Amino acid sequence: MEKLRRWAVALARGSVPVGLGLLLWVAIGAGEEQRQETLKALPEANPELLAQRRRHNELIMAALKEAAETDDNVARRPVPWRK
What is the average pLDDT across 54-67? 90
pLDDT tier at 83 (50, 70, 90 boundaries)? very low
d(Cα 72, Cα 66) in Å, to the nearest integer?
A: 10
d(Cα 46, Cα 9) in Å, to the nearest integer?
A: 56
Flag whether pLDDT at 62 surpasses 50.
Answer: yes
What is the average pLDDT across 52-60? 92
What is the average pLDDT across 58-79? 80
- Does residue 80 contact residue 63 with C-beta atoms inside 8 Å? no
The model carries a pTM of 0.40
Q: pLDDT above 90 covers what percent of the chain?
A: 29
What is the DSSP secondary-structure string of 36-82? Answer: HHHHHH-GGGSHHHHHHHHHHHHHHHHHHHHHHH-SS-GGGS--TT-
Q: Domain locations in the chain?
A: 1-41, 44-72
